[in-house]
């Protein structure tokens, strides 16, 4: 996989980020559904298919570990390979995936931080790091990670959405609204971003913005719209 991922890094990690983004947009709650945990079975196996065309035992081991959902075993396999070469970005990705699935967000954040260290120009890497930081109750660090990524390159709908969620975790609704608006500028059909915008607007008593978000959600996601109705700001 190393040669393949180095040749096509954006294709490989963008697949992970895109699948996760679609799952979040469909209604999963980021606080309870880990970003990497939203990936379908076989994702790691597919990425590792190019680890070494001659290393069939390793490919089979990875496949077997993921098939059995042996996340501790997969994490150990990553650790063993990282003990040989700690600058191997692919194995930091696998390590982060395994720790995420094992519900160890702090360890996942450490792994994704190393992934970012080795491949800082990949936006998806920052997204993975930010979500794992949120999951490990470190929203301020998540904000810092995403803002750093945005200094390097314009963000994606998902990265701006995660920025809004991280600000919301910190009860900072004004910057959260700005982040949700950025996400919606890039993808006006992003239902979860509309929900975040409506929720933050309700907290601030911004009735017009709240009603605009609710109108969009009624069209895009009636279930989320119903949740937003419950947050309707009091009339003044």
Tell me the C-alpha distance between 5 and 224, whole Å.
37
Cα separations in angstroms, 207 against 72, 107, 198: 48, 41, 9
Q: Is the dihedral of CA 130, 133, 137, 138 positive or negative?
A: negative
Tokens of 61: 């081991």
pLDDT, tens only, 157-211: 989 999 999 999 999 999 999 999 999 999 999 999 999 999 999 999 999 999 9
CATH fold of 1-136 reads 1.25.40
Whole-number pLDDT of residue 52: 54
Given a cut of 80, is residue 72 above it in pLDDT?
A: yes
Chain segment 12-46, per-residue pLDDT in tens: 444 444 334 434 443 443 433 444 444 455 555 55
Six token digits for residue 64:
């077997």
The whole-number pLDDT of residue 15 equals 41
User: Within 13 Å, how many C-alpha atoms sit on residue 60's CB side?
Assistant: 4
pLDDT at 143: 97
pLDDT of residue 186: 96
How far, in Å, are 31, 76, 122, 129, 159 from residue 17 at the CA level? Answer: 16, 24, 11, 11, 10
In this predicted model, what pLDDT tens digit does every residue of 112-162 receive, in sequence order?
Answer: 999 999 989 888 888 889 999 999 999 999 999 999 999 988 888 989 999
Which range among 53-62, 79-88, 94-103 shows the weakest confidence by mean pLDDT? Answer: 53-62
Domains of the chain by residue range: 1-136, 138-236
Residue 55: count other Cβ atoms within 10 Å of its Cβ. Answer: 13
Domain 138-236 grouped into CATH 1.25.40.10: yes
pLDDT at 5: 37
pLDDT tens-place string over residues 52-68: 555 678 777 877 888 88
Domains 1-136 and 138-236 share a fold: yes
Predicted pLDDT of residue 12: 46
Q: How far apart are CA 101 and CA 124, in angstroms?
A: 18
**pLDDT surpassing 70 at residue 69:** yes
């Amino acid at each position: 996989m190393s040669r393949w991922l180095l040749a096509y890094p954006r294709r490989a990690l963008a697949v992970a980020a895109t699948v996760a983004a679609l799952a979040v947009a469909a209604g999963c709650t980021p606080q309870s559904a880990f970003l990497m945990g939203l990936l379908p079975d076989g994702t790691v196996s597919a990425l590792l298919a190019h680890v070494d065309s001659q290393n069939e035992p390793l490919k089979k081991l990875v496949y077997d570990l993921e098939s059995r959902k042996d996340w501790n075993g997969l994490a150990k396999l990553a650790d063993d390979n990282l003990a040989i070469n700690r600058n191997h970005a692919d194995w930091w990705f696998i390590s982060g995936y395994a720790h995420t699935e094992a519900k160890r967000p702090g360890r996942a954040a450490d792994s994704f931080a190393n992934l970012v260290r080795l491949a800082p120009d990949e936006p998806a890497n920052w997204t993975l790091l930010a979500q794992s930081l949120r999951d490990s109750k470190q929203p301020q660090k998540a904000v810092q990670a995403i803002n750093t990524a945005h200094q390097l390159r314009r963000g994606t709908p998902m990265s701006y959405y995660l920025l809004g969620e991280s600000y919301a975790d910190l009860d900072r609704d004004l910057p959260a609204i700005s982040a949700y608006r950025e996400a919606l500028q890039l993808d006006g059909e992003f239902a979860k971003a509309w929900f975040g915008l409506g929720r933050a607007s309700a907290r601030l008593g911004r009735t017009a913005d709240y009603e605009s978000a609710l109108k969009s959600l009624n069209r895009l996601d009636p279930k989320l719209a119903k949740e937003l109705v419950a947050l309707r700001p009091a009339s003044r």
